[in-house]
Amino acid sequence: MDIVLLGPPGAGKGTQAQRLADRLGIPQIATGDVLRAAVKQGTPRGLEAKAYMDRGDLVPDEVILAIMKETLASDGAKKGSILDGVVRTLPQAEGLNRVLKELGRKVDAVLFFDVADSELVKRLGGRTVCENCQTPYTGREPGSKCDKCGGTLVRRKDDEPEAIRNRLLVYGKQTAPVLEWYRTHGAQVRTIDAVGTQDEVTARALKAIGK
């Protein structure tokens, strides 16, 4: 199964993608994580992406399409994938369809994580992530240790107030239309109420895809 997770920044896509990937035995693919790793390693792709990411703007579609091709064709993703924040513009949605078609696959479901804006701002402002494995945490101070790998928790630069505001604007302008596009292009779109405990939201997501 190839499942697209859509939703504003802070809706919990990263957390739920990891949980769904574990439950379904297919990998989580997160362009944000791939890009942050590239920035850390200082690769040409990372250098190109950094300024966009720091401002909370979207990285150009060509970069994202190249990542889609590499990751979806990899051995680990042969049985499918949980695409977390990978599709954020209409050209990316069309590009994903093309890449999957070449592999004899298609988008099997689109899960939309629904959360009110006021809640998103609260969540993003209090978020830290593991600098090593990218696991997100709420309400844990920078400098604490990750439960999963012992890495150090840091505040993401794009979780500063100015970048948060921009990311929400960018989402409304460029990504929200993608949801409508999927609705009119035959994909199975399911809205998930993404407010609740992690277990509750995972259960809703699994139910939405019939698991």
- List of residues contacting ligand AMP (CB under 6 A): 9, 31-32, 35, 52-53, 56-59, 64, 85-86, 88, 92, 158, 167
Which among 13, 19, 105, 123 is annotated as catalytic?
A: 13
Q: Which of 107, 70, 82 is nearest to 27 (CA)?
A: 82
Three-class secondary structure of residue 179 per DSSP: helix
Assess whether 127 carries a catalytic annotation.
yes
Rank residues 109 and 129 by Cβ distance to ligand AMP and give the closer one: 129
CB of 211 to ligand AMP, least distance (A): 24
CB of 183 to ligand AMP, least distance (A): 19
Rank residues 67 and 189 by Cβ distance to ligand AMP and give the closer one: 67
CB of 2 to ligand AMP, least distance (A): 15
Rank residues 45 and 88 by Cβ distance to ligand AMP and give the closer one: 88
- Give backbone dihedrals phi and psi of 89, rounded to 5 degrees, phi first: -140, 165
Q: Which of 52, 42, 47, 58 is nearest to 9 (CA)?
A: 58
CB of 20 to ligand AMP, least distance (A): 16
| Nearest residue to ligand AMP on Cβ basis | 32
3-state secondary structure 25-49: CCCEEEHHHHHHHHHHHCCHHHHHH
Which among 45, 123, 167, 204 is annotated as catalytic?
A: 167
Which among 36, 88, 105, 204 is annotated as catalytic?
A: 88
Q: 142 near 177, Cβ under 8 Å? A: no
Extended strands (E) in the chain: 2-6, 28-30, 81-84, 109-114, 127-130, 136-138, 153-154, 189-193
CB of 61 to ligand AMP, least distance (A): 7
**Which tokens go with 183?**
């609705």
- The residues facing 138 across adjacent strands are 127
Which among 105, 123, 156, 204 is annotated as catalytic?
A: 156
DSSP, residue by residue, 131-144: TTT--EEES--TT-
Rank residues 177 and 203 by Cβ distance to ligand AMP and give the closer one: 177
Assess whether 13 carries a catalytic annotation.
yes
Assess whether 88 carries a catalytic annotation.
yes
Catalytic amino acids?
Answer: 13, 88, 127, 156, 167
